Amino acid sequence: MSFDDDIDDRRRHIALFRETVLEEIDTEDRPRGELSAQIAEIATRSFETPWGKLRSFTERTLWSWWGLYKEQGLLGLVPKLRKDKGVSREITPQVLEAAIQARKEVPSRSTKTIIDVLVRRQLVPPGSMARSTLDRHLEQAGFSRRRLKTLGAKRYIRLLFEQPNELWVGDYHEAPILYEPRTDSFRTIHLCAEIDHYSKLVPHGQWYPNERIATLEDTFKKAILKRGCPKKSYVDNGSVYRSHAFAFALAQLDIKHCRSKRYTSEGRGAIERFNRTVAEQFEPEVRAARIAELDKINLFWEAWLEERYHREKHEATGQAPIDRFALDGFAPRFPDPALVQDTFRVQARRRVHPKTSTVEVDGLHFLVETFLRGRWVTVYYDPHRLDDVLVFLNGKRVQRALPAQPNERPLPTPERPTAAPLTFDYLAALRAAYDQRLAEAARRLSLSEWTPATSFDLKAFLDLCAQMLGKDLSPYEHDELTAAFNGVGPFSEPTARLALEHALKLRGRGLHVSVYTQYLKTFHLEALRALGAKAKEKP
């Protein structure tokens, strides 16, 4: 025997064990009587084998080992292979040949079917042949389904990227977590999310009542406004992802649209793992809180995403997603917000009213040019923000139509759940921690000295925002900042200036206007708290 022989691990263990049994025998020549006595003494002992069993060996066996060891050394103690290795002792050559022929006829035929064929041909009795036995002999003969490449021939590779925004993976995830007080049950809602494959950061995710193109485009629009445009978007073959509107929107933003093959989910492992994290960590808390409002679920969702998921070390990367996304030298490619607003719109066909010259979209009437009365037009609109619609006639854009009159229909407020309150409001604590982290930066500044001035009106505030953000405000940015000024403000100029400086320093330019509005609100409320505390200290 030489090292040309393929010695498997089991035979190696046996050889080393036999050498251990013989290690007390002196290798020098000694009188035969002394050697015989020593071997006889070893034969009376028991030894623990590598597999944990106690064994004793006869003098004849020990003499045989000793002779081989003196002639060949350790290699002589390696058990020899069976002379009939590879030859079936359980299956006759005739039966094996019939099994091989059955596999040749249909290469994808299962082993159980082949056994059934042999039984029905009366070559083997029923129940006498195990599937694993026949599989082993077919493998040795080269006729297993893997050898014939009809099973398990597909190979996968691990995706590796050098920086963020090279590949985003999108998917929907559904969960019954919206509480229905009337029936005391939970309604299923749908999470639409995108995840950056490099950093495992979620640019945006939101819960919706359905899986439609409007919810997909709303999520993707907010994602690219917050984190910039990816190079590729990788999704499955769901109906919303196969829509022409989504494909052309990506093409207009220079984003490559990639779809996985049917019935293949391995390439979407990042988003699938994130969905499992959501199911394990977020959904139980929401169900326990019995939340009956979708907007409130999304409010807590934002806090969980920013305060919990983005700041915990990810097991795949060893870094927190928010830290890994902030790669040195990486600059996201942010799109024009006005272009994004017009790109991600839902298309619909509408007939212009012949008398009022309006088109109706979701209960709102939009005033269009009078020459369009009675004609069919194509309108593009954002179902989540019906500020305007784009009107097209015969493939050409005619105008941007504004609402002719408001037609709001308030929904009844759902009843509060009657269940006992939780001992600890976990979701509220997450939201408080998220708001407190923003407020702590503001507390270090002299907020108690900031007071609103009458000269700093809405116009001055909007001018300051445009100057700090370095661009002209789009209509939707103008409206959102106005709503913040009128609803939470009025802001003081030092408060607004420092809030925007702080936001630009931490988050950068080109983000969605809601990011900057959050900083403005937080700094302003902290200033009011500081002023109130200062007033209490005075006698």
6-64 pLDDT, tens digit each: 567 788 888 888 888 888 776 556 666 788 888 888 888 888 888 888 888 998 988 88
* Model confidence band, residue 309 (pLDDT cutoffs 50, 70, 90): very high
Q: Among 200-204, 365-369, 444-448, 528-532, which is the least confidently predicted range?
A: 444-448
Establish if 500 belongs to a structural domain: yes
Residue ranges of the alpha helices (H) in 49-200?
59-72, 93-105, 111-120, 131-141
Q: Looking at residue 262, what is its pLDDT? A: 62
Mean of pLDDT values over 344-362: 85
What is residue 358's DSSP assignment? Answer: E
Q: Looking at residue 196, what is its pLDDT? A: 93
Q: Which of 77, 94, 112 delimits the end of a domain?
A: 77
Residues with Cβ within 8 Å of 337's Cβ and at least 6 positions away in sequence, in order, are: 225, 474, 476, 477, 512, 513
Residues with Cβ within 8 Å of 136's Cβ and at least 6 positions away in sequence, in order, are: none
Residues with Cβ within 8 Å of 116's Cβ and at least 6 positions away in sequence, in order, are: none
Q: Are residues 494 and 439 in the same domain?
A: yes
Q: Looking at residue 471, what is its pLDDT? A: 82
Q: Are residues 211 and 244 in the same domain?
A: yes
What is residue 79's DSSP assignment? Answer: P
Q: Are residues 175 and 275 in the same domain?
A: yes
Cα–Cα distance list, 479 to 337, 428, 475 (Å): 14, 29, 6
Q: Are residues 145 and 280 in the same domain?
A: no
- pLDDT, one tens digit per residue, over 191-236 is 999 999 999 999 999 999 999 888 888 899 899 999 999 999 888 8
In sequence order, what are the beta bridge partners of 229? 333
In sequence order, what are the beta bridge partners of 402? 367
What's the domain count of the chain? 5
User: One-letter amino acid identity for 77?
Assistant: L
- pLDDT, one tens digit per residue, over 376-426 is 998 988 777 788 888 998 878 888 888 886 554 443 444 555 666 777 777
Establish if 424 belongs to a structural domain: no
Cα–Cα distance list, 456 to 82, 439, 519 (Å): 97, 23, 18
Is the pLDDT at 351 greater than 60? The verdict is yes
Establish if 159 belongs to a structural domain: no
d(CA 281, CA 432): 18
Angle at Cα 480 formed by Cα 475 and Cα 482, nearest 5°? 95
Q: Looking at residue 481, what is its pLDDT? A: 84
Q: Are residues 237 and 307 in the same domain?
A: yes
d(CA 450, CA 104): 87
Q: Are residues 265 and 358 in the same domain?
A: no
CATH classification of the domain holding 256: 3.30.420.10
d(CA 402, CA 399): 10
Establish if 415 belongs to a structural domain: no
Q: Are residues 173 and 311 in the same domain?
A: yes
- pLDDT, one tens digit per residue, over 413-444 is 445 556 667 777 778 778 777 667 665 655 55
Q: Which of 270, 293, 325 delimits the end of a domain?
A: 325
Q: Looking at residue 186, what is its pLDDT? A: 94
Q: Are residues 147 and 179 in the same domain?
A: no
Establish if 421 belongs to a structural domain: no
Average pLDDT over the chain, rounded to an integer: 81
Q: Are residues 73 and 107 in the same domain?
A: no
Q: Which of 275, 293, 325 delimits the end of a domain?
A: 325
- pLDDT, one tens digit per residue, over 314-341 is 888 889 999 999 888 889 999 888 788 7
d(CA 312, CA 309): 6
Q: Are residues 309 and 364 in the same domain?
A: no
Q: Which residue has the higher pLDDT, 101 or 3?
A: 101
Establish if 336 belongs to a structural domain: no
Establish if 351 belongs to a structural domain: yes
* Model confidence band, residue 3 (pLDDT cutoffs 50, 70, 90): very low
- 12, 59 in Cβ contact below 8 A? no
Residue span of the structural domain in which 110 resides: 102-152
- pLDDT, one tens digit per residue, over 243-268 is 777 887 888 888 888 877 665 555 57
β-strands 256-259, 364-367: how paired? unpaired
Q: Are residues 319 and 180 in the same domain?
A: yes
Q: Are residues 213 and 279 in the same domain?
A: yes
- pLDDT, one tens digit per residue, over 463-487 is 888 888 888 888 888 888 888 888 7
Q: Which residue has the higher pLDDT, 223 or 453?
A: 223
Structure-token pair, residue 47: 């030894």
Q: How far from the centroid of its chain's Cα atoms is residue 120's Cα?
A: 50
Q: Looking at residue 24, what is its pLDDT? A: 73
Structure-token pair, residue 151: 């099973």
* Model confidence band, residue 87 (pLDDT cutoffs 50, 70, 90): very low
Mean of pLDDT values over 493-517: 80
Q: Looking at residue 267, what is its pLDDT? A: 57
Residue 184: CB atoms within 10 Å: 11
H or E, element range at 192: strand 185-196
Establish if 291 belongs to a structural domain: yes
Percentage of the chain lying above the pLDDT 90 cut = 17
